[in-house]
Structure 1
Amino acid sequence: MATNKAASLDLPERPVLLDGGMGRELQFRGVALSETIWSAQGLVAAPDVVRQIHADYIAAGADIITTNTYGIIRDDLARIGIADRFTELNELACRLARDAADAARRPVWVAGSLPPLRGSFRPDLVGPHEEIVLCYREQARLLAPHVDLLLCETMSSGAEARAAAEAACDTGRPVWVSWTLHEDESGRLRSGESIAQAASLLADLPVSGFLVNCCSPASVTRAVPLLAAATATQRRIGGYANTFHPIPADWRLDGDKATDGLISLRDDLDPDAYAAHAIRWLAAGATVIGGCCGTRPAHIRRLHSLLPAT
């Protein structure tokens, strides 16, 4: 069972900066990605590019870089015949991030990504707690020895976040939870739950950060005050938005519906435009900002310019 005592994470007192997207950045750099395992394909095809992306985000000012483990899901690996590489790929992703962090000339922390297991943005596909918590526990235990914190990200429902956070907290590492929000900018999760409702499901766990991610910048703006109201003062709050056009409710990356496939990127969220949203997040009390899908090192560099020097 998870302890109720939060593990410490010695971050700067100022707002901290996460990195940006990995999957689209791999594509921008010419790496062909499998729709089944998405960004994890970079570990198979171009590990040196993955390491360089981490290094580029650090050079742009990121305090925290995230392991490229979002696409390492055992069932998905099995679909392309490499389930036996689950441990190897998780450990490789950690090593690439840790190498980049250790090479930096300043403190950089590594977050281990725990992703949705049965499709992003799909609360209807999450599955029973007793099944997914075992999967999360397996991955969390692989990541924990190599990372500084565990990040349960793009959680579309309270139940999904509960399973991931429960498994992550069992490791004794600091844990942050980040929910993805509905495209209507209501501040609600994709499941329809409010942030307060989702946060209440984690009340007995030592989660030390409540964030939102992989939704529009305007959705993050709407959510930051709700995160502040739902959390204790000692928790980090904030968000990291994507640059996608609205994501259909029935979207799948690898199925057979008309909405499948890659989501197109907006053309109105260059680094300056993105930063204009992040200024609002900081004004509303965000202590963590960064970028998700479609953001690049230039976005992170611009966000870094918003933060006080340390």
Structure 2
Amino acid sequence: MGQFKELLSQQRAVILHGALGTELEARGYDISGELWSAKYLLNGSDAITKIHEAYVLAGADIITTSTYQASLASLQGVGISKKEAESLIIKSVELAKIVRKTAWEKIEETAKSTRIYPLISGDVGPYAAYLADGSEYTGDYGQISKETLKDFHRSRIALFLKAGVDLLALETMPNLLEIKALIELLVEEFPDTEVYLSITSQDGESLSDGTDLKEMVRLVQQCPQIVALGVNCSSPTVCEKVLSQLVNLTSLPLVAYPNSGEVYHGETQTWHASDSAMHEIASYHKRWQEKFEQLTLVGGCCRTRPDDIEKIRESLSIS
């Protein structure tokens, strides 16, 4: 590894892959159930590759694997054997590699000269994704130990590295204990891995579990493998507040990929309208690029689509 950190130092804006589940729903696929969009790793992986390709053609510089919900625990929890679960996680990386090659071949040569060959990010979703109860937005995991969280994440990270990802996305993290567990894993067991860490927040001043952002940043600064830090799947308004805090707390490159501003109801796994969902994501990014010099990794999370990624690229004058 090393490509990711170098890219962040050289490029003002790096465009992330957008939402997978949202796009599957928009294309008529059913993502209900415990595995959500990850169930299409089992059957219908063509749906995943087509969406990966759509994001690359729209301007994404990073392809994120379809594993937000696909941990060994979640896959085995629906009756899949450990061996098959491991194969599916590796398959997610192989699908991304195939798309990287085929989508790149479809991009015009003049456009290639202004873009990077996409990197592949192993998506390490939070323990909340396994719980499938909306706890990404509360950070409430009940009584759980740090060792349990380390055990939950260890196998998937190891499989990603075996399959040859370029970086890891530790994304949608709502809970300080989980971040501690991941940092210990990185430092003790995966010292050569490059990652970005992206949290969720409900108020712009703390993690979703209520931990002050200052405490979270102090912890992150102890881990050299975390080469970018930020926020995702919070509303644009909350993301802006988080960025305003982080620029005063860290010199790391910053990450921001908000959801649409709609509100998620974990009990029903549905999104509902909100006053925060008023403007296109691209308009926020344009303002943030002018306001936050450290902001480097940009994109959209839930309820955003390839058109949003294309508009973000256009708004940032990335040809």
TM-score band w.r.t. shorter chain: 0.7 to 0.9
Structure 2, unaligned runs of 5 or more: 106-111
Tell me the TM-score normalized by structure 2: 0.84
Deviation at 1:163, TM superposition (A): 1.8
Look up the match of 1:121.
137
CA contact under 8 A between 2:73 and 2:152: conserved in structure 1? no
- Identity percentage over the alignment? 28
Matched, 1:111 2:121: yes
Query: 1:25-72 deviations in whole A, cap 9, x for unaligned?
Result: 111112222420111012122201101111110100111121111011
Aligned CA distance change for structure 1 residues 268 and 224 (closer, same or farther; 3 Å): closer
Query: 1:220-278 deviations in whole A, cap 9, x for unaligned?
Result: 1111121222222xx22021011252346xx3xxxxxxx332223669858x6221111
Look up the match of 1:202.
220
Provide the aligned C-alpha RMSD in A.
Answer: 2.2
Query: 1:62-108 deviations in whole A, cap 9, x for unaligned?
Result: 11121111011233223321143220110111111111123315411
Mapped partners of 1:307, 1:57: distance in 2 = 17
Q: Which is worse superposed, 23-32 or 120-129?
A: 120-129
Q: Match for 2:232 among 201, 208, 213?
A: 213
Q: Which amino acid in 2 is paired with 1:96?
A: L
Mapped partners of 2:306, 2:314: distance in 1 = 13
Question: After TM superposition, what 4+ stretches of structure 1 lie above 6 angstroms from structure 2?
Answer: none
Mapped partners of 2:146, 2:243: distance in 1 = 28
CA contact under 8 A between 2:283 and 2:315: conserved in structure 1? no
CA contact under 8 A between 2:261 and 2:276: conserved in structure 1? no
Matched, 1:297 2:306: yes
Structure 1, unaligned runs of 5 or more: 1-5, 252-258
Aligned CA distance change for structure 1 residues 83 and 164 (closer, same or farther; 3 Å): farther
Aligned CA distance change for structure 1 residues 83 and 262 (closer, same or farther; 3 Å): farther
Aligned CA distance change for structure 1 residues 197 and 247 (closer, same or farther; 3 Å): farther
CA contact under 8 A between 1:102 and 1:108: conserved in structure 2? no
Q: Match for 1:25 among 23, 26, 32?
A: 23
Mapped partners of 1:79, 1:147: distance in 2 = 25
Look up the match of 1:150.
168
Mapped partners of 1:186, 1:135: distance in 2 = 28
Residues 232-247 of structure 1: matches in 2 within 5 Å?
A: 232=251, 235-247=252-264
Look up the match of 1:260.
268
Between structures 1 and 2, the one with greater helix share: 2
